[in-house]
């Protein structure tokens, strides 16, 4: 039987402990909050955690409340398999307790009030630190807390994470218990709002080590992505031999060298303009090249409106054009929408939910009309944003900060990178060196197309009866049993409030759908290596785009805009002066919309 998680609460159950509980809940680890037996300031009777050995998370003050003397500490540790202690401070009483708890292995804690820190995760710590092992990065976290000054008394201790060159997350063995000391002063609050443009990486010190610890102790009973997938998305280009700085033959060579895959975010307006040789290149290399949908006409703020009729027309027309493009060029597409200019409205997300789009992708998860601080840290750490629509929103990022990408993979998001043709101005050195770093940190990462990525995105955890619970995000989902034994599953997908008219098929056969709170569940059993294709069907009024025309003025504006963009990308890109003139002209076109 698995160990149980206990979170030691200080007197008054401070926010610190509540935050640790939220993190455990987020990972799906059941826990109990353990209040001190006495009200003893600095040493009531030690409370034995009865029965099997527990896994314990505690602030040092909550731990000290239960363990007055060295003997009390030893008694306490007798019932504990693994213990993470955080919240340390630089004070005489904290240092004294620290030395006592670690049998002298730590001399003292040293406060660090710097706003930004250099984090170094030890190479070879992958058993605990997972994808972070071997990574060094700067983080402007504003996190205080301490680093530890170690003595040489326990040679088997491991420094898992250093901060500003000093031990910050340390593992050692004390009286048969795995003890992990964490230098941060608090655990991040998963319910805290995250502003537009703010990165959850700022919470690294306050959250990632605790997640590492819980995953180490509870393994497959924590929510985790069973596989990692990624794609390098290139916005806007036509499928011609060259587009601006992008040469498809050369990019293919680069992808073969560094084993990654690219997806062109294709503007549906260009559906009749694909060069057959480039189409043939895409068709011959489906493991490297794929395309998805990038707006419809790609005009300014195209998917930012609130007019449902207009958004519906754009969505249907985009799909109709992509179908035509597939028919004309032979290049299929993933029904995944990449919003132009990184802008979209909540209504646009709802309208996509009425169509056969599988998912949407954007750099920011904030729709233009959503109030600041409406999304929480927990939202940011889920594989996809699901609150806007029955279509999930995945996020992507520029290939700049490796740590941001590792955070995506660590929490189970697909790794979606984005660039434009200009990124290849100096060749493929930049992309290859970035991808090489990612591939080294996450050797299991599979580079593939967006259809595969979105329709297989999930988190998984083992349940009470050995069943695998899977949280998936799209209305078409593929699950495979990779094991050598028969496995039962419960597939879960969040539903919006009031949504009940959803039916499901598994490999074409209709199955029962159970609704439980805010999610639907589909039980399933798979033989070894067997796969199941799940399709959710919703009552939606799907209207096909009939190929109708825009007014002549609108058509001219779209034509002018696309022509200017292409002129800029293909001709002016080498001349900054001319490029600025083109930007001004585009600005005028935008203003005249
Ligand atoms: Zn674009």
Beta strand ranges found along 193-241 (DSSP E) = 193-194, 229-235
Residue 126 sits at the vertex; the CA angle it makes with 122 and 131, to the nearest 5 degrees, is 95
Distance 549 CA to ligand 1 centre (A): 22
Q: How many residues does the chain have?
A: 593
Distance (angstroms) between ligand 1 centre and the Cα of 235 equals: 5
Ligand 1 centroid to residue 239 C-alpha, Å: 14
This prediction's pTM: 0.92
Q: How far is the CA of 441 from the centre of ligand 1 (A)?
A: 30
Distance from the CA of 341 to the center of ligand 1, in angstroms?
A: 6
Encode 494-529: b = buried (16+ Cβ within 10 Å), e = exposed.
bbeeeeeebebebeeeeeebeeeeeebbbebebeee
Two tokens, residue 38 = 């006495």
Distance 245 CA to ligand 1 centre (A): 15
Smallest CA-to-CA distance from 239 within 288, 290, 298, 315 is with 290
pLDDT over 90 (residue 273): yes
- Reported as a pLDDT band with limits 50, 70 and 90, residue 547 is low
Instruction: Tell me the percentage of the chain whose pLDDT exceeds 90.
Output: 80
Phi, psi angle pair for 246, to nearest 5°: -100, 125
Measure the CA–CA gap between 465 and 463, rounded to whole angstroms: 6
pLDDT tens digits, residue range 189-207?
Answer: 999 999 999 999 999 999 9
Integer angstrom CA distances of residue 248 from 312, 352, 563: 33, 30, 21
**What was the pLDDT predicted at 548?**
59
Cα of 416 from ligand 1 centre, angstroms: 15
Instruction: Reply yes or no on whether the pLDDT at 556 is more than 60.
Output: yes
pLDDT class of 40 with cuts at 50, 70, 90:
very low
Q: Please report where in the chains the tokens 């959503």 appear, as a residue.
A: 370
Give the start-end residues of each E strand in 304-355: 334-338
- pLDDT of res. 47: 44
What's the confidence (pLDDT) of residue 39? Answer: 38
Is the confidence at residue 343, as pLDDT, over 60?
A: yes
Query: What is the radius of gyration, based on Cα positions, of the chain?
Result: 27
* Residue 300 alpha carbon to ligand 1 centre in Å: 10
Q: Return mean pLDDT, the chain.
A: 91
Helix (H, G, I), strand (E, B) or coil at 85: strand
* Centre of ligand 1 from the C-alpha of residue 360, in Å: 14
pLDDT at residue 3, rounded to an integer: 79
Q: Which of 114, 100, 182 is nearest to 148 (CA)?
A: 182
Share of the chain above pLDDT 70, in %: 91
**Does residue 535 have a pLDDT over 80?**
yes
Task: In whole angstroms, give the CA distance from residue 161 to residue 209.
Answer: 9
Question: Partners of 461 in the beta sheet?
Answer: 469
Q: Rounded mean pLDDT of 502-521?
A: 94
Q: Is the pLDDT of residue 565 over 90?
A: no
Q: How far is the CA of 236 from the centre of ligand 1 (A)?
A: 5
Residue 471 CA, ligand 1 centroid: distance in Å = 31
pLDDT in tens, 229-258: 999 999 999 999 999 999 999 999 999 999
Q: Give the per-residue pLDDT at 564.
A: 74
**Tokens 């698995």 appear where?**
2
> Residues with Cβ < 8 Å from 514, sequence gap 6 or more?
520, 521, 522, 523
Residue 102 has pLDDT above 90, yes or no: yes
- CA–centroid distance, 309 to ligand 1, in Å, is 23
Q: Is 229:453 a contact under the CB 8 Å cutoff?
A: yes
Q: What is the largest CA-CA distance in the chain?
A: 86
Q: How far is the CA of 417 from the centre of ligand 1 (A)?
A: 14
pLDDT grade for 44, boundaries at 50, 70 and 90:
very low
CA of 435 to the centre of ligand 1 (A): 22
pLDDT tens digits along 456-486: 999 999 999 999 999 999 999 999 999 999 9
pLDDT of 204 reads 98
- Taking residues 146-157, report their average pLDDT: 92
Four-CA torsion 91, 97, 101, 106, nearest 10 degrees:
30
Banded model confidence at residue 554, pLDDT cuts 50, 70, 90: confident
| Tokens of residue 57, six digits | 């998370």
Tell me how far the alpha carbon of residue 342 lies from the centroid of ligand 1, in angstroms: 8
User: Ligand 1 centre and the CA of 294: distance in Å?
Assistant: 7
Q: What is the pLDDT of residue 45?
A: 39
pLDDT at 148: 98
> pLDDT band at residue 539, thresholds of 50, 70 and 90?
confident
CA of 540 from ligand 1 middle (Å) equals 29
**Beta-strand relationship, 359-362 and 262-266:** unpaired
- C-alpha 420 to ligand 1 mean position (Å): 8
What are the structure tokens assigned to 102, written together? 């670690």
Q: Please spell the DSSP secondary structure of 113-129, one letter per residue.
A: --SSEEEEEPTT-HHHH
**Cα 488 to averaged position of ligand 1 atoms, centre (Å):** 43
Ligand 1 centroid–CA 378 distance in Å is 29
> Which of 15-24, 37-46, 142-151 comes out lowest in average pLDDT?
37-46
What pLDDT does residue 470 have? Answer: 98
Q: How far is the CA of 103 from the centre of ligand 1 (A)?
A: 60
pLDDT of 586: 65
């Amino acid at each position: 039987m698995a160990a149980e998680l206990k979170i030691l609460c200080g007197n008054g159950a401070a926010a610190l402990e509540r935050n640790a509980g939220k993190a455990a809940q987020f990972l799906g680890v059941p826990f109990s909050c353990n209040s001190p037996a006495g009200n003893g300031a600095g040493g009531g009777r030690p409370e034995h955690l009865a029965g099997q050995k527990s896994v314990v998370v505690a602030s040092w003050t909550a731990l000290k409340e239960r363990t007055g003397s060295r003997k009390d500490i030893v008694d306490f540790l007798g019932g504990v398999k693994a213990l993470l202690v955080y919240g340390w401070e630089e004070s005489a009483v904290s240092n004294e307790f620290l030395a006592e708890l670690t049998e002298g292995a730590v001399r003292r804690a040293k406060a660090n009030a710097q706003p930004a820190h250099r984090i170094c995760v030890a190479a070879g710590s992958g058993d605990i630190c997972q994808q972070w092992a071997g990574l060094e990065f700067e983080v402007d976290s504003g996190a205080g807390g301490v680093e530890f000054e170690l003595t040489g008394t326990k040679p088997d201790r491991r420094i898992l994470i250093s901060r500003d060159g000093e031990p910050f997350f340390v593992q050692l063995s004390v009286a048969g218990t795995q003890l992990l000391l964490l230098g941060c002063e608090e655990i991040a609050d998963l319910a805290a709002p995250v502003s537009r443009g703010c990165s959850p990486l700022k919470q690294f010190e306050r959250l990632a080590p605790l997640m590492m610890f819980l995953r180490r102790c509870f393994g497959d009973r924590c929510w985790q992505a069973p596989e990692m997938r990624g794609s390098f998305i290139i916005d806007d280009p036509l499928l011609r031999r060259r587009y601006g700085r992008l040469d498809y033959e050369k990019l293919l060579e680069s992808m073969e060298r560094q084993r990654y895959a690219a997806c062109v975010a294709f503007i549906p307006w260009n559906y009749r303009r694909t060069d057959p040789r480039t189409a043939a290149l895409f068709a011959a290399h489906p493991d490297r090249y794929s395309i998805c949908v990038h707006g419809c006409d790609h005009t300014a703020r195209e998917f930012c409106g609130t007019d449902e009729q207009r958004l519906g027309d754009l969505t249907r027309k985009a799909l109709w054009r992509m179908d035509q493009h597939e028919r004309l060029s032979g290049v299929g597409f993933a029904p995944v929408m990449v919003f132009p200019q990184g802008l979209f409205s909540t209504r646009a997300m709802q309208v996509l939910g009425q169509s056969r789009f599988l998912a949407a992708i954007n750099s920011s998860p904030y729709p233009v009309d959503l109030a600041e601080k409406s999304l929480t840290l927990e939202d940011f750490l889920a594989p996809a944003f699901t609150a806007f629509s029955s279509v999930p929103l995945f996020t992507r990022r520029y290939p700049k900060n490796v740590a941001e990408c590792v955070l995506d993979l660590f929490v189970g998001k697909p790794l979606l990178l984005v660039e434009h043709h200009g990124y290849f101005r100096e060749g493929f050195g930049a992309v290859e060196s970035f991808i090489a770093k990612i591939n080294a940190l996450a050797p299991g990462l599979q580079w593939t197309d967006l259809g595969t990525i979105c329709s297989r995105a999930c988190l998984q955890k083992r349940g009470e009866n050995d069943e695998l619970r899977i949280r998936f995000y799209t209305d078409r989902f593929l699950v495979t049993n990779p094991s050598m034994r028969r496995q039962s599953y419960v597939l879960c997908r969040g539903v919006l409030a009031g949504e009940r008219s959803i039916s499901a098929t598994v490999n074409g056969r209709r199955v029962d759908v159970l609704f439980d709170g805010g999610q639907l569940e589909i039980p399933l059993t798979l033989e070894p290596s067997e796969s199941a294709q799940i399709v959710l069907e919703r009552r939606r009024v799907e209207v096909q785009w009939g190929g109708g025309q825009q007014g002549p003025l609108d058509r001219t504006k779209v034509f002018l805009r696309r022509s200017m963009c292409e002129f800029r990308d293909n001709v002016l890109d080498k001349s900054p002066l001319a490029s600025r003139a083109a930007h001004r002209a585009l600005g005028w076109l935008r203003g005249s919309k």
